[in-house]
Amino acid sequence: MMRIELAARPPFSLAPVVLSHGWIRLLPFNEEQDHGLSYIDQLSSGKVLELKVDEIPGGVAVTTHDDLTPAERGEIAGKVGWMLGLEQDFSAFYDLAAQEPKLAHVVAKASGRLLRSPSLFEDVIKTILTTNTLWAATRRMCANLINQFGAPLPDDPLRRAFPSPSRLAATDEATLRAETRLGYRAPYVLELAQQVDSSKLALEALKESDLPTPELRKRLLSLKGVGPYAAANLLMLLGRYDDIPIDSWAFKMVSYEWYNGQPVGPAEVKAHFDRFGEWKGLAYWMWDWNYTG
């Protein structure tokens, strides 16, 4: 049993991160008591362990059943710091949100951080799995990927980590279609895994990229299966909020918020959030919508 305490930039609260979007309900995440979370992670050494994350004053505590080397502790600290956005600074967003009743809850709850997977590789695949399908199918495809290709937890082999690029690169399109049920997304996932595995694509480097958002967006759009919606979603996970992930849900929300349920397009969605400038994506994401059904 090991415990690692990590400090967060204040203000911080774990619950809004866990509840920030659907990722907590995709394996290998799991929501635990009191809006804590667990995640099954494969370390760079290949070791698979379960990380449990709970809030403590000033940050979080990460616990595992395993004994860890200093290097493993460092790796876990880095990953969890990224996953929860512990260093992220939302003070400029809070200044804007404090002026807008529909965003007041953001300041009150210290929201803004969006739950991320340890790797951009995993988040790109998961984002591709959310496109053009229903949430239940996204969860099923993600679970299939993990159950079929993920490395097992030694104590509990039915639970597995998210597959590595090399493991996915070693499968084939027919298997991803027939067994994993990815449908037409199969070649997209396979190509991504092969490019990352062969180092043709330095995907993880985009996490620290200082490219302007439009350039970063172009990089993401160049990935097969990543279109405007997916790119905007991934940009948000990368801490860039100057684009809005517009999907069919966005049209419905904006329609009932400002147009009496009449059909709307992307222009209407953008029009209501442009005033938030570089924070417009987060303003959209955190908006306290009228429509609840």
Partner DNA sequence: GGTAGACCTGGACGC
Partner DNA sequence: GCGTCCAGGTCTACC
Which residues are near DNA by CB under 7 A? 131-134, 136-137, 140, 177-178, 181-184, 221, 223-231, 247-249
Those residues with Cβ within 8 angstroms of residue 157's Cβ, 6 or more apart along the chain or in another chain: none
Q: Which is nearer to DNA, 104 or 221 (CB)?
A: 221
Q: Which is nearer to DNA, 109 or 139 (CB)?
A: 139
Which residue is associated with the tokens 């370390």?
Answer: 43
Question: Closest distance between DNA and the C-beta of residue 173, in Å?
Answer: 9
> CA dist 16 to 24, 37, 238, Å?
11, 12, 17
Q: Which is nearer to DNA, 74 or 214 (CB)?
A: 214
Q: Which is nearer to DNA, 51 or 114 (CB)?
A: 114
Q: Which is nearer to DNA, 47 or 224 (CB)?
A: 224
If DSSP codes are grouped into helix, strand and coil, which group holds residue 36? coil
**53 beta partners:** 37, 62
Asked if residue 129 lies in contact with residue 25, where contact means CB atoms within 8 angstroms, the answer is no
Question: Closest distance between DNA and the C-beta of residue 249, in Å?
Answer: 6
Question: Closest distance between DNA and the C-beta of residue 158, in Å?
Answer: 20
- DSSP assignment of 146-206 equals HHHHSPEETTEEEEEPPPPHHHHHTS-HHHHHHTT--GGGHHHHHHHHHHHHTTSS-GGGG
Cα(107)–Cα(241) distance, rounded to whole angstroms?
17
Cα(12)–Cα(9) distance, rounded to whole angstroms?
7
Q: Which is nearer to DNA, 26 or 48 (CB)?
A: 26
Cα(46)–Cα(37) distance, rounded to whole angstroms?
22
Q: Which is nearer to DNA, 161 or 232 (CB)?
A: 232
Asked if residue 27 lies in contact with residue 142, where contact means CB atoms within 8 angstroms, the answer is yes
Question: Closest distance between DNA and the C-beta of residue 131, in Å?
Answer: 4
Cα(269)–Cα(217) distance, rounded to whole angstroms?
19
Cα(71)–Cα(85) distance, rounded to whole angstroms?
21
Question: Closest distance between DNA and the C-beta of residue 159, in Å?
Answer: 21
Question: Closest distance between DNA and the C-beta of residue 275, in Å?
Answer: 22
Q: Which is nearer to DNA, 152 or 227 (CB)?
A: 227
Cα(90)–Cα(173) distance, rounded to whole angstroms?
42
Question: Closest distance between DNA and the C-beta of residue 48, in Å?
Answer: 26
Question: Closest distance between DNA and the C-beta of residue 91, in Å?
Answer: 31
If DSSP codes are grouped into helix, strand and coil, which group holds residue 8? coil
